[in-house]
């Protein structure tokens, strides 16, 4: 499902800005890849093929269509020159396969499920800190990151908790949808990093990206 063009909105990313963000997130994901490969003792591949901008209502529909209507999520808030919430999302029906990479093969199902929040929170912490760390370092915008929170359930409820459908449509928040391809030896899946921001924070991010692009071209 493709995201619509917001041609009359000041917070639209142009091609150079979108390419710059994709490059920055790939740099951050690259550092996370090395850490995960060392942690798991096997090759791990992570890549960000695209970054898109959307309102929250459109974001929910895209995640439901492209990933799943039920997901496992790791959420971390960030604050600094601009702030928001960053979420790593994977299809719920793939979480068990991902989890198996972190635990002993001989562990029984009950113990595996008990370890799921801790193990996947660690995975999310590595990936989200890598991604946001790249943004922070390259855009000169220091962040403080909260501890990760593990969530599982319907995509709409995780992305829009305690928000009615009408409030979602009217929301003044802006969302970045960062597609993530994730592969280990035994599996591959598509996930996403979702960044929820106010319009003000989105404008500050865009200004920082514009400065980065201008400096890169000078």
Q: 83 in a domain, yes or no?
A: yes
Q: State the CATH number of the domain containing residue 174.
A: 3.40.1550.10
Two structure tokens written together for 108 = 């029984």
Q: Note whether residue 179 is domain-resident.
A: yes
CA distance 41 to 3: 37
Q: How far is CA 136 from CA 39, 60, 131, in A?
A: 24, 26, 9
Report yes or no on 172 lying in a domain.
yes
Residue 9 lies in a domain: no
188-212 per-position pLDDT tens digit: 788 899 999 888 888 899 999 999 9
Residue showing tokens 């960062």: 178
Per the model's pLDDT, the better-predicted residue between 160 and 19 turns out to be 19
pLDDT band at 3 (very low <50, low <70, confident <90, very high): very low
- Has residue 155 been placed in a domain? yes
CB 159 within 8 A of CB 194: yes
pLDDT, average across residues 170-174:
58
Q: Does residue 5 register a pLDDT over 80?
A: no
Cα(83)–Cα(155) distance, integer angstroms: 22
Strands 173-184 and 70-80: unpaired
Question: What is the domain range of residue 189?
Answer: 15-217
Q: How far apart are CA 182 and CA 197, in angstroms?
A: 25
- Rounded Cα distance between 198 and 215, Å, is 26
Q: Evaluate whether residue 94 is within a structural domain.
A: yes
99 within domain boundaries: yes
Q: What distance in Å separates the CA atoms of residue 9 and residue 56, rounded to the nearest whole number?
A: 15
Q: Is residue 173 part of a domain?
A: yes
Read off the pLDDT of residues 139-159 as tens digits, 9 standing for 90 and up: 999 999 999 999 999 999 998
With contact defined as beta carbons under 8 Å apart, do 127 and 32 qualify?
A: yes
The pTM of the full predicted model, rounded to 2 decimals, is: 0.85
Report the alpha-carbon distance of residue 212 to residue 144 in Å, rounded.
21
User: CB–CB of 66/188 below 8 Å?
Assistant: no
| Number of domains into which the chain is organized | 1
């Amino acid at each position: 499902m493709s995201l619509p063009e917001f041609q009359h909105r000041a917070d639209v990313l142009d091609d150079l800005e979108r390419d710059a963000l994709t490059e920055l997130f790939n740099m951050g994901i690259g550092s996370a890849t090395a850490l995960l490969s060392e942690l798991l003792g096997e090759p791990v591949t992570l890549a960000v093929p695209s970054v898109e901008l959307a309102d929250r209502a459109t974001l929910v529909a895209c995640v439901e269509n492209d990933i799943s209507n039920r997901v496992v999520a790791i959420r971390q808030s960030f604050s600094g020159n601009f702030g928001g919430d960053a979420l790593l999302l994977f299809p719920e029906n793939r979480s068990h396969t991902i989890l198996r990479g972190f635990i002993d093969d001989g562990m029984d199902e009950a113990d595996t499920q008990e370890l799921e929040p801790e193990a996947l929170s660690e995975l999310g912490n590595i990936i989200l800190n890598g991604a946001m760390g790249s943004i922070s370092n390259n855009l000169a915008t220091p962040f403080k990151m909260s501890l990760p929170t593990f969530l599982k359930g319907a995509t709409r409820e995780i992305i829009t908790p305690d928000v009615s459908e009408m409030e979602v449509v009217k929301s003044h928040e802006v969302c970045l949808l960062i597609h993530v391809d994730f592969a280990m030896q035994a599996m591959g899946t598509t996930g996403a990093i979702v960044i929820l921001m106010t319009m003000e924070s989105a404008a500050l991010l865009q200004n920082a990206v514009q400065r980065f692009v201008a400096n890169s071209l000078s």
